Structure 1
Amino acid sequence: MATVELRFSALPEHVRTARLVAAAVARRAGVDEAVLDEVRLAVGEACSRAVGLHVSNGVSAPVRVALTEEEKKFSIEVGDEAPRAVSGRATDGDGAGDALSGDESGAEAEDEMGLAVISGLVDDVEVTSDEAGGVIRMSWPTADASDPS
């Protein structure tokens, strides 16, 4: 199992680099060429979301991206260290318990839109978050090395 790890300052200009690295590693891992645009877009959304969360929460820690090549799967984890309220407010995106106004509701709507885009691009996606930050895990199948087609 090979893993490439990236850490970058929470600046929008670094998202493009993360997308390019993710696509290159995905190609090397055997992800179908037709899916590489989806990989690029999903990583871009996840990294942009992490950058936005770091900026809006004043987090100076880097955004983390782990690209893992497994036997029949290529996985990407994008992690942030932006704290989430765990009690008293829904964090699963169903809107229950949200009593936000102004900029916060706009930021949350943008966050939900980014997650919806990722979910539309990636069949296997998992989003987790707690008071220490969050992780978006995405994976795609890779070509089986023993398959002649």
Structure 2
Amino acid sequence: MATVELRFSAQPEHVRTARLVAAAVARRAGVDEAVLDEVRLAVGEACSRAVGLHRSHGITAPVRVVLSEEEKTFSIEVGDEVPSAGSGGASDVPGARNGSDEDLDSDGEDEMGLAVISGLVDDVEVSSTEDGGVIRMSWPTTPAIVLP
């Protein structure tokens, strides 16, 4: 299992870099070329959401992106350091973080971003704990063709 970890300060200009890295690692892992745009868009939405949460809560810790290649799956986890106001838990249905409306920005971009991600990715899980939130997304990979 190959893993790449990316950490960046919560600045919007770094989201583009995260998208480019995710697409390059996904391509190397064997994600179908037709799906790479979806990978880029989903990572961009997840990273933008994490950046927005960090900035709105005054958190200076970096946003975490972990890209993992497994036997038949490529997964990406985007983590933030914004604690949940609720008890935590996981959900495969996008929506607000477990807690109050404090976690949503005034425009509802948090929910919109999660809705976009769920429309792009078939296998997505959103979880939130007192340590922060994670969006985990995965895509199937095709094995590399080995020429004799």
Q: Given the two structures, how large is their TM-score scaled by the length of structure 2? A: 0.86
Contact 2:79/2:132 (8 A) holds in 1: yes
Amino acid at match of 1:53: L
Deviation at 1:132, TM superposition (A): 1.4
Give the direction of change, closer, same or farther, for the CA distance of 1:94–1:112 in structure 2 (3 Å limit).
closer
| 1:117 pairs with 2:119 | no
The TM-score normalised by the length of structure 1 is: 0.86
Partner of 2:45: 45
Give 1:145 shift. Answer: 3.5
Conservation of the 8 A alpha-carbon contact between 2:25 and 2:67 = yes
* Matched residue, 2:84: 84
Cα shift at 1:130: 1.8
Deviations along 1:10-68, one digit per CA (max 9) or x if unpaired, are: 00000000000000000000000000000000000000000000000110000000000
Residue deviations 1:55-99, cap 9 Å, x none? 001100000000001110000000000122115xxx97379x86x
Query: What's the counterpart of residue 20 of structure 2?
Result: 20
- Deviation beyond 3 Å, 4+ runs, structure 1: 145-148
Determine helix, strand or coil for the equivalent of 1:75.
strand
Query: In 2, Cα distance between the equivalents of 1:142 and 1:116?
Result: 24
In the alignment, the residues of structure 2 paired with residue 105 and residue 74 of structure 1 have an alpha-carbon distance, to the nearest angstrom, of 30
Identity %, equivalent residues: 78
Q: 3-state SS of the aligned residue for 2:60?
A: coil
Q: 1:94 and 1:65, CA in 2 relative to 1: closer, same or farther beyond 3 A?
A: closer
Structure 1 counterpart of 2:141: 142
Q: 2:95 maps to what in 1?
A: 93
Partner of 1:82, secondary structure, is coil
Other-structure match for 2:2:
2
User: Match of 2:47, as an amino acid?
Assistant: C
Deviations 1:124-149 (A, max 9, x none): 0000012211000000000034699x
Instruction: State the AA in 2 paired with 1:115.
Output: L
Gaps of 5+ in 2: none
State the superposition RMSD in angstroms.
2.6
Q: 1:106 to 1:144 in 2, by over 3 A?
A: same
**2-side partners of 1:105 and 1:27: how far apart?**
33
Residue aligning to 1:55: 55
Q: Which 5+ residue runs of structure 1 have no aligned equivalent?
A: none
